[in-house]
Amino acid sequence: MHKPQNLFEYEKQASSLISPMAADYYASGACDGITLAANRNAYDHYQLLPRVLVDVSRQDLSVNILGQQHATPLIIAPSAFHCLAHPQGEKATARAAEEQDTTLILSTLATQSLEDVSAAADTRRWFQLYVHKDRALTQDLVARAVAAGYTALCLTVDAPLLGKREKDANNTFTLPSDLCLANLQSARKNLPDQQGQSGLFDYFADQLDASLNWHDIEWLASLSDLPIVLKGIVRADDAQRAVDYGAAGVVVSNHGGRQLDGTIATIDALTDVVTSVDNRIDVLLDGGVRRGTDVLKALALGAKGVLIGRPILWGLAVDGADGVSHVLTLLREELKLAMALSGCASIDDITPDLLTTAHRR
């Protein structure tokens, strides 16, 4: 196979290298996939208005997020089960993050423990968290994240229940017997022995706390000094509440189209959220980012950074850590070129006037 030249080629190659069940798990959205498609297609509604005759001979892609300096606005989104894509799983992803000086957000549903991932690479790490009915389990995960050097908590707030993912149901999705939910192994004591890893996943789904509310953010903040980022915000009023309840940031996200089908595309929700928080906290975005121009558009609309999800898994499936690193390189170089051609020498030069939603005649 030739080395992919863009993320779409990575997607095509990855689909031929992993099991159909894994490919469907990574790719699918909820129900009819309306939101899944909208996340991608909505970027086409925004056209660029590039500046010319600007000195872009030197470019700076660095940005400050949560008071931490990032080499680029790219962040690796939390996603489950990296070992379905490659035997080295999340450890390989962490090594790529280190090579690219990119923050990794590790999923609660990782197939390698947060401690093992921490030991695998010296990269900035945030931990993605679900609040469980068993609050002791949640408290233990936070304590482990602090001890392992994670520097922020990324709380998923759009999953009181799991969305309806019909491909997974049709495939009777289960983890292979040699893989596990490494961060939840302590929960095995609550399961009958014969349930195995499938039972552990069912246990996780049952543990999602549908009673979670804004006051629980205060409880979570009491467990550590780590800044809390709320992932799954698409409304301006919810973004305002995030500020009021002490969040350090929000991720404008609809869970990659995997929760409620028919939800607004994230790039279309971004402006109202950014306006609502009024620079008091950092706003990030995920969903549908496939090109450097997508990143440029998100930054022009006020995002401080973007989370990259499925393409990381494609890179991992194609070439392990090197594949993930190359995916990030492609996006970085595309962003750098798009900035130069738009007259932007630094991230601060990326402003809303670079975009128009006017339709061509």
Which of the residues are catalytic? 255
Number of Cβ within a 10 Å radius of residue 168:
16
Cα 76 from Cα 142, distance rounded (Å): 20
Instruction: Tell me if 80 is assigned to a ligand binding site.
Output: yes
Number of Cβ atoms within 10 Å of the Cβ of 48: 14
78 appears as a binding residue in the annotation: yes
Residue 265 is classified by DSSP as P
Structure tokens at 80: 């489950």
Which pair of structure tokens corresponds to residue 235? 């409304």
Amino acid at 202: D
CA distance 104 to 123: 7
Q: Is 309 annotated as a binding residue?
A: yes
d(CA 249, CA 25): 28
165 assigned binding-site residue: yes
Alpha-carbon torsion, ordered 293, 322, 184, 258, to 10 deg: 30
Q: Is 258 annotated as a binding residue?
A: yes
> How far is CA 282 from its chain centroid?
15
∠ Cα 342 49 312 (to 5°): 60
- Three-state DSSP state, 305: strand
How many Å apart are CA 38 and CA 111, to the nearest integer?
A: 29
Task: Locate all alpha helices (DSSP H) within 101-235, ordered by sequence.
Answer: 114-120, 135-147, 166-171, 196-207, 215-221
First to last CA, the chain: 41
DSSP state for residue 294 in the 8-state scheme: H
Q: Is 156 annotated as a binding residue?
A: yes
Q: ∠ at Cα 314 (310, 316), nearest 5°? A: 115
Asked whether residue 25 is marked as a ligand-binding residue, the answer is: yes
Q: Kindly state the DSSP code that residue 58 receives in the 8-state scheme.
A: S
- Residue positions in the annotated binding site for FMN? 78-80, 107, 128, 130, 156, 231, 253, 258, 286-290, 309-310
- Residue positions in the annotated binding site? 25, 78-80, 107, 128, 130, 156, 165, 231, 253, 255, 258, 286-290, 309-310
- Residue positions in the annotated binding site for glyoxylate? 25, 165, 255
